[in-house]
Amino acid sequence: AQSVTQLDSQVPVFEEAPVELRCNYSSSVSVYLFWYVQYPNQGLQLLLKYLSGSTLVESINGFEAEFNKSQTSFHLRKPSVHISDTAEYFCAVSVPGGATNKLIFGTGTLLAVQP
Amino acid sequence: NAGVTQTPKFRILKIGQSMTLQCTQDMNHNYMYWYRQDPGMGLKLIYYSVGAGITDKGEVPNGYNVSRSTTEDFPLRLELAAPSQTSVYFCASSSRGPQETQYFGPGTRLLVL
């Protein structure tokens, strides 16, 4: 079985500061890795995903995440955050070859950007 | 292209009442899902469907039922509401394949008193 751990439930940061949101996973097989973002009072939307190839993946709004197989991690980073990045961020995994598309989510990290 | 729509946005139920949460998608996705989100718990899968007429249980199916008569619609039924079902419910859809992005609706906030 797979599991996802997001140790930080909340990360406060000042505007224009860098941030890292941590995600570790556990799985006996290879996985696909996702970061979803949930803005206040909205549904989740995909931020970025790692399927294969380059271990560094980027989103269109300046976030990036690096897949580290040896540490079973997929941390999300941004060099300079904006107020508008305030949201809850969920790390998730799915299993290649699975027939059900099931996503296993972490418990989420609330990124609170302060002016 | 509206994506995934959910109704109602908010509902208060009394213990023992029933209701149906509606979900519709216009992306012709075969796969649809129902999740519940509780504070500090992330999202838990309630039921999913891989196509019209095919549904299966997720992680937390007790107290819920689903049906999938069309590709577009995937309603979630609560038969006897309990306070433990107070939550935010999200419907999602995707194309086939675990690499595919899931597209989420805006959610239904349910309060059972």
Name the residue ranges covered by the structural domains of chain B.
11-95
Bigger pLDDT: A25 or A2? A25
Nearest CB to B43: which of A51, A95, A105? A105
For residue A8, give its domain range.
Answer: 3-114
Distance in angstroms (rounded) separating the CA atoms of residues A73 and A76: 10
Q: Which residues of B79-97 are buried (b: 16+ CB within 10 A; e: fewer)?
A: eebeeebbbbbbbbbbeee
Contact B104 A101 (CB under 8 A): no
Q: Which pLDDT tens digit goes with each residue over B13-23?
A: 999 999 999 99
Query: Tell me, what CATH number does A69's domain have?
Result: 2.60.40.10
Question: How far is residue A115 from each of residues A17, A26, A63, A80, B40, measured CA to CA in Å?
Answer: 10, 36, 19, 13, 25
Residue B90 · residue A43 · CB < 8 Å: yes
Q: pLDDT for A26-83, tens place per residue?
A: 998 889 999 999 999 899 999 999 998 889 999 988 999 999 999 999 999 999 999 9
From chain A, pick out residues whose CB is under 8 angstroms from the CB of B99.
32, 49, 51, 94, 96
Contact B45 A106 (CB under 8 A): no
Q: Which helix (H) or strand (E) holds A24?
A: strand A24-26
HEC per residue, A43-108: CEEEEEEECCCCCEEECCCCCEEEEECCCCEEEEEECCCCHHHCEEEEEEEECCCCCCCCCEECCC
Confidence check: pLDDT of A99 > 70:
no
Token couple for A87: 């949201």
Calpha distance B112→B103 (Å, rounded): 27
Gap between the Cα atoms of A84 and A71, Å rounded: 31
What pLDDT, on the 0 to 100 scale, is given for residue A81?
A: 97
**What is the predicted pLDDT for the residue at B86?**
97
Q: Tell me the CATH class for B11-95.
A: mainly beta
In the predicted model, residues of chain B with pLDDT beneath 70 are none
Q: Regarding beta strands B10-13 and B108-112, do their DSSP bridges make them parallel or antiparallel, or are they unpaired? A: parallel
User: Taking an 8 Å Cβ-Cβ cutoff, which residues of chain A contact chain B?
Assistant: 4, 9, 32, 34, 41-46, 49, 51, 90, 94-103, 105-108
Structure tokens at A101: 């598309």
Q: Indicate the pLDDT class of residue A98, thresholds 50, 70 and 90.
A: low
Report pLDDT for A60.
85
Please give the tally of structural domains in chain A: 1
Which of A43, A46, A102 comes nearest B101 by C-beta?
A: A46
